[in-house]
Amino acid sequence: MLRKFIYIFLLVFITGCGFKKRTSSTKTRTVSVEARKDNTENVTSPSSRTPTSKRTQADYIIDTALEFSGVRYKYGGTTKKGMDCSGLLYVAFGENNVKLPRVSYHMAEEGKPINLQEVTKGDLLFFRTTKGAKRINHVGMVVTVEKGEIKFIHSSTSRGVMVSSLREGYWNSAFVRAKRVL
């Protein structure tokens, strides 16, 4: 009986470890991140288009966030080894002395609600990416607004830290609200 118990325990343990390895290997596929990193460089950083004397706090926060472009997605991550969406903004704002909650749905409770037509760089965009979900589960920060196109930085589960457009169908349909925290 003891031998069967040990056998089952080892089987579960080995299977569990094997499952964990497969999970981490699927998260570390970064082939598309490399390609998308070049696309994020097409978004000019605020420092290259704003004179030093007229830089805003939002410019500095955006610069900090853009330093993480191409970093892979990692749930709960807040370093260059991996970041999730709220971790990216928590770090970018925090390094610029602006305190934000750590989780996206708590971030959505901060700041002043604004209409999408009023967003400007540094504003936060909140999304519900799971169908039927009752609370917000994704956040991004506006990087540029040009000719009605809103580009925002975030960390996606499939491509890591990147800049996307709100015109993309997926993000447009998942959008819930915008907030101004600065």
CB atoms < 10 A from the CB of 16, how many?
Answer: 10
User: In this structure, are residues 67 and 45 in contact, taking their beta carbons and an 8 Å threshold?
Assistant: no
Note whether residue 55 is domain-resident.
yes
Question: Which pLDDT score is estimated for 53?
Answer: 66
- CA nearest neighbour of 161 among 63, 72, 47: 72
Catalytic residue among 43, 58, 66, 85: 85
In a domain, 3, yes or no: no
| Contact criterion met (CB below 8 Å) for 96 and 89 | no
* Residue 89 three-state SS: helix
In a domain, 88, yes or no: yes
The CATH code of the domain that includes 103 is 3.90.1720.10
Instruction: Give the C-alpha separation, 19 to 50, whole Å.
Output: 49
16 within a domain of the structure (yes/no): no
Q: Is residue 180 packed enough to be buried (19+ CB in 10 Å), middle (13-18) or exposed (0-12)? A: middle
The question of whether 17 is a catalytic residue gets the answer no
Sheet of 160-165: strands edge to edge? Answer: 112-114, 175-180, 124-127, 138-146, 149-156, 160-165
Q: Residue 12: inside a domain, yes or no?
A: no
How many CB atoms neighbour CB 64 within 10 A? 17
Predicted confidence (pLDDT) per residue in 41-83, tens digit: 345 444 445 455 689 999 999 999 999 999 999 999 999 999 9
Average model confidence (pLDDT) across the chain: 80
What CA–CA distance (Å, rounded) separates 137 from 119? 20
Q: Is 85 among the domain residues?
A: yes
Given this model, what pLDDT does residue 40 score?
Answer: 40
Q: Residue 131 has what pLDDT?
A: 86
**Using CA of residue 16, residue 81, residue 173, residue 133, what is the dihedral sign?**
positive
Which entry of 36, 37, 74, 154 is annotated as an active-site residue?
A: 154
Structural domains in the chain (count): 1
What are the tens digits of pLDDT across the range 79-137? Answer: 999 999 999 999 999 999 999 999 999 999 999 999 999 999 999 999 999 988 889 99
How many angstroms separate the CA atoms of 58 and 39, rounded? 21
Residue 23 lies in a domain: no
Choosing from 138, 151, 159, 179, which is the catalytic residue? 138
* pLDDT, tens digit, 9 for 90 and up, residues 10-22: 444 444 433 333 3
In this prediction the pTM is: 0.72
Residue 5 has pLDDT above 80, yes or no: no
Does 26 or 169 have the greater pLDDT score? 169
The helix-helix angle for 57-66 and 85-94 (nearest 10°) equals 130
